[in-house]
């Protein structure tokens, strides 16, 4: 057998350039065919339809031959993206969902008893209320009698009392270090917060007089939040709220009291329907009166 000659890098580069040259020539022919068809159409307006369309059809066929792989690639990417969006529920979730009658409105007592059976995770799941309201733009404050089960981290920005601490906090925020769930500020701190508004605003952490987080007595406000006070509001463009009302470990009585306090704060006349669920469970529709 003869020896197989290795192709040198120079030869590989030469072949690649030749392939590029051929592809460029082919694309040039496509453009030339399209231009020729256009020129012929303009210079011979009386020629037959068959004659005028022939170069155009040839050019179109070559164009379609070039574009077809690109379209196929885009289609396959779109199909893969749509497939990834399709959420496949686990077998355990499907079993839990079968316990819930979707056509039924459950009393709070019934719903919490069912939730205790239908939850899936081994950790202490958060109990959530999903409230559809009559209109968007609703907001307010409520103190749940038993809190949410989550320790609320509150930071205070008070430059008149602690200038160095306020400056350090602002620098941390600028660097993207957010170590709090609620930020309470004094009125004189608001001009300083302008420099971090683009960081706090999208996260919903910017102090606001409407939410009570701008105060001349920030320590008292911080104590209220740490004691279970929370701010609720609908989504910006959709009349719906997603609210945590405790942990499964609270038990039915405490959860029931928290749910009652939340619904009273939002007010029944503002509510269309309510669903209760835990972090991993299916939703259970509540009967609200």
Reading phi first (left if > 0) and then psi (alpha if -120 to 50, else beta), residue 149 is in left
Q: What is the pLDDT of residues 189-222, one digit of tens each?
A: 999 999 999 999 888 899 988 888 999 999 999 9
Q: Is the overall model pTM greater than 0.85, yes or no?
A: no
Q: What integer pLDDT is reported at residue 43 of this predicted model? A: 66
HEC letters along 134-165 = CCCCCEEEEECCCCCCCCCCEEEECCCCCHHH
With a CB cutoff of 8 Å and minimum separation 6, the contacts of 109 are: 252, 256
Distance CA 18, CA 109 (A): 78
Q: What is the pLDDT of residue 49?
A: 47
In the chain, domain spans: 9-84, 91-145+230-289, 153-226
- Position 273 scores a pLDDT of 94
SS3 179: coil
Coil vs helix vs strand at 102 = coil
91-145+230-289: CATH architecture: 2-Layer Sandwich (3.30)
* Residue 44: per-residue pLDDT: 59
Average pLDDT, the chain: 82
Report the CATH superfamily, name and number, of domain 153-226. Answer: Ribosomal protein L1/L10, domain II (3.40.50.790)
**Residues in the chain where the model's pLDDT stays below 50:** 1-2, 47-52
Name the burial class of residue 255, with classes exposed (0-12), middle (13-18) and buried (19+) by CB atoms within 10 angstroms of its CB: buried
Q: What angle do CA 243, 244, 249 make, to 5 degrees?
A: 155
pLDDT of residue 150: 84
Question: What is the per-residue pLDDT for 78?
Answer: 64
Q: How far is CA 140 from the centre of its chain?
A: 24
Those residues whose C-beta lies under 8 Å from the C-beta of residue 273, and which sit 6 or more positions away, are: 131, 132, 285, 286, 288
Query: How far apart are the C-alpha atoms of 241 and 132, rounded to whole Å?
Result: 7
């Amino acid at each position: 057998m003869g020896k197989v000659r290795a192709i040198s890098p120079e030869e590989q580069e030469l072949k690649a350039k030749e392939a590029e040259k051929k592809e460029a020539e082919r694309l040039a022919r496509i453009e030339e065919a399209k231009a020729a068809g256009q020129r012929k159409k303009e210079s011979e307006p009386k020629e037959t339809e068959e004659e005028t369309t022939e170069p155009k059809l040839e050019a179109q066929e070559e164009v379609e031959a070039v574009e077809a792989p690109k379209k196929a690639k885009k289609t396959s990417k779109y199909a893969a993206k749509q497939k990834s969006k399709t959420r496949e529920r686990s077998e355990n979730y499907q079993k839990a969902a079968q316990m819930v009658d979707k056509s039924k409105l459950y009393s709070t007592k019934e719903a919490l008893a069912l939730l205790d059976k239908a939850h899936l995770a081994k950790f202490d799941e958060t109990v959530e209320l999903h409230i559809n309201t009559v209109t968007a733009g609703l907001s307010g404050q409520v103190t749940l009698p038993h809190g949410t089960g989550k320790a609320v981290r509150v930071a205070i920005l008070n430059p008149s009392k602690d200038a160095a601490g306020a400056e350090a906090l602002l620098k941390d925020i600028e660097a993207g270090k957010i170590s709090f769930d609620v930020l309470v500020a004094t009125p004189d701190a608001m001009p300083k917060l302008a420099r971090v508004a683009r960081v706090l605003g999208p996260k919903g952490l910017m102090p606001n007089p409407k939410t009570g987080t701008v105060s001349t007595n920030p320590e008292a406000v911080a104590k209220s939040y740490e004691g279970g006070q929370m701010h609720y509001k609908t989504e910006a463009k959709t009349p719906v709220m997603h609210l945590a009302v405790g942990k499964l470990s609270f038990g039915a009585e405490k959860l029931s009291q928290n749910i009652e306090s939340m619904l009273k704060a939002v007010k029944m006349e503002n509510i269309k329907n309510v669903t209760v669920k835990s972090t991993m469970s299916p939703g259970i529709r509540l009967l609200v009166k």
